[in-house]
């Protein structure tokens, strides 16, 4: 007890329990419970801490060795270490890395620990439903133990580890309590200096711990908990970045895992691009690593059977032989060749994606049918788009009187098995409807995003970077975004901005002139009027 160098309060409790233990029979159940409790108190690293690497150049170098890009996170860690250098008693920040799967959130925690010279601890919160998992069970319960936080600290062996709380957005809650609420005390820098575990019943100082939470989505995290986190968003990688990550990290790792050497086997850049484009469609690099592993196994079989050359080179041609038929082929051009089909952009928990809006007409009495598992907000978006079309019928060159009286409209958003919601497809809905009713197809290289109003204004949306990366992956060359989202382009990689024409609009009339293949004169006139309204000349 003396060697553990506990705080005064904990030492007092430990000595009191030791005195009780002396008066007990070793065969009694209470003896075992008290002894286990004392062992926990003694083994917790109350005063053991590691010395930080304060040299910022070393920290930067270490972070760069393990991860490509992720500049925002690296910058924040370097800032924290710079402050630690100037003020040693600085409390640890509570960071939350939010992004799609496979971008390196969890592995980054280990890398941060190595960079700043600390021990590493990790607990997975996915599916945790019981509040006692965080705070522990009281000692009155049979087989009770401290919560996962204290267990993780003990396992790390120091009181200032880098502690990763994995999948914080997957926490559950039921009749046994809400673990997200229990985490409020753990993750509040003002309170966690006196964290009390139900089992220990003495306070432990968590303020020296550098907590890093990871999440795919921020929406499921309760607001009170999210308010305590410093959120750093990690977007998906571009095609070029994936190639660089594969070349620098994934290929050497997979070669080593499969008993190959760079001298024995080489995967060309063309082969890597082929795998990225035709065999994976993801924001991260998890599937890319899997496919590289499959390629390495094919070479390993050849080597083991003695059929391999001294230096096997895997090019783009060999990729299809090894991995089979292409899993992904760009279908934007063929799907948008007809009037009434338009390409939109969506944000999902696994990064951005493209979606197609299909509209068709048939003889009827003005009925509107919506399919594709659309949520309420998306359904209202279609209704708003149709109302705006009806209001602008004459200006668009449609029969203003009865153009919808003798026909039914059907709007479908594939894939039908995936639920969809949100207002950002309003612009796409409107363009698809106008394309259908005027008979003018949408340009195959165009995608768009934006919310619309009944006055024809285009409102800002979220997830701009993820949506633009998805458009870039799909081979889109022209993207239309709301003018109010131009400020978000600062986060988009230069490579993507160079390869795509990104156009900003304020009014719906401008969208049609940019999106339709051969816009009629009436639509061009409307676009000119809208631009004149937006940018009046003196």
Pairing of strands 407-412, 478-482: unpaired
Q: What is the DSSP letter of 411?
A: E
How many residues would you count in the chain?
A: 538
Identify any residues that bridge with 408 across adjacent strands, giving them in sequence order.
Answer: 362
| Segments of 99-202 assigned E as strands | 120-124, 162-166, 195-196
Compute the distance between CA of residue 87 and CA of residue 102 in angstroms, rounded to an integer.
35
Question: What are 347's strand-pairing partners?
Answer: 352
85 included as an active-site residue:
no
> What 3-state DSSP class applies to 24?
coil
Q: Which of 529, 499, 498 lies closest to 513 in space, CA to CA?
A: 529
CB 500 within 8 A of CB 471: yes
> Of 207, 424, 435, 506, which one is the catalytic site residue?
424
Which of these is catalytic: 119, 420, 467, 506? 467
Residue with tokens 């979220």: 462
Q: Does 3 participate in catalysis according to the annotation?
A: no
Strand order across the beta sheet in which 94-98 lies: 120-124, 162-166, 210-215, 94-98, 230-233
Q: What is the DSSP string of 361-387?
A: EEESSS-EEEESSB-HHHHHHHHHHHH
- Assess contact for 98 and 142: CB atoms under 8 A: no
Three-state SS for 235? coil
Active site residues: 424, 467
């Amino acid at each position: 007890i003396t060697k553990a160098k506990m705080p005064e309060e904990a030492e007092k409790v430990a000595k009191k329990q030791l005195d009780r233990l002396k008066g007990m029979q070793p065969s009694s159940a209470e003896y075992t419970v008290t002894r286990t409790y004392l062992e926990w108190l003694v083994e917790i690293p109350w005063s053991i801490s590691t010395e930080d690497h304060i040299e910022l150049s070393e920290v930067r170098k270490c972070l760069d060795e393990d991860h490509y890009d992720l500049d925002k996170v690296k910058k924040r860690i370097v800032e924290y270490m710079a402050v630690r250098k100037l003020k040693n008693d600085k409390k640890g920040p509570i960071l939350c890395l939010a992004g799609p799967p496979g971008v390196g959130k969890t592995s980054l925690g280990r890398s941060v620990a190595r960079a700043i010279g600390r021990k590493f601890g990790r607990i997975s919160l996915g599916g945790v439903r019981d509040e006692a998992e965080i705070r522990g069970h009281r000692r009155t319960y049979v087989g009770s133990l401290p919560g996962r936080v204290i267990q993780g600290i003990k396992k790390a062996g120091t009181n200032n580890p880098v502690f990763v709380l994995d999948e914080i957005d997957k926490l559950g809650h039921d009749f046994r309590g809400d673990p997200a609420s229990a985490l409020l005390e753990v993750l509040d820098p003002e309170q966690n200096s006196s964290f009390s575990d139900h089992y220990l019943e003495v306070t432990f100082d968590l303020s020296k711990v550098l907590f890093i939470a990871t999440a795919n989505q921020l929406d499921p995290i309760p607001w009170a908990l999210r308010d305590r986190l410093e959120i750093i968003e990690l977007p998906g990688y571009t095609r070029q970045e994936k190639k660089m990550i594969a070349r620098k990290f994934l290929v050497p790792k997979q070669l080593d895992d499969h008993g190959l050497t760079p001298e024995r086997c080489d995967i060309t850049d063309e082969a890597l691009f082929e795998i990225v484009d035709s065999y994976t469609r993801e924001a991260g690099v998890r599937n890319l690593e899997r496919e590289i592993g499959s390629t390495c196994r094919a070479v390993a079989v050849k080597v083991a059977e003695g059929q391999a050359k001294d230096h096997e080179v895997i090019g783009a041609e060999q990729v299809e032989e090894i991995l089979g038929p292409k899993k992904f082929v760009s279908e934007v051009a063929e799907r948008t060749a007809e009037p009434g089909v338009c390409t939109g952009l969506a944000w999902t928990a696994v990064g951005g994606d493209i979606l197609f809006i299909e509209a068709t007409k048939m003889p009827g009495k003005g009925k509107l049918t919506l399919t594709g598992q659309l949520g309420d907000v998306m359904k209202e978006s279609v209704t708003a788009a149709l109302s705006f079309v009806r209001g602008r019928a004459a200006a668009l060159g449609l029969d203003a009187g009865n153009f919808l009286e003798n026909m039914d409209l059907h709007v479908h958003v594939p894939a039908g098995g995936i639920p969809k919601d949100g207002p950002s497809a309003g612009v796409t809905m409107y363009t698809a409807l106008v394309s259908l009713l005027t008979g003018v197809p949408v340009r195959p290289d165009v995608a768009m995003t934006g919310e619309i109003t009944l006055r024809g204004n285009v409102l800002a949306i979220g997830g701009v970077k993820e949506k633009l990366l998805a458009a870039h992956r799909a081979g889109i060359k022209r993207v239309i975004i709301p003018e109010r989202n131009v400020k978000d382009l600062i986060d988009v990689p230069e490579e993507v901005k160079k390869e795509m024409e990104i156009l900003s609009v304020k009014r719906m009339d401008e969208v049609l002139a940019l999106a339709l293949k051969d816009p009629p004169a009436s639509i061009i006139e409307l676009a000119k009027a809208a631009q004149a309204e937006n940018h009046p000349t003196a």
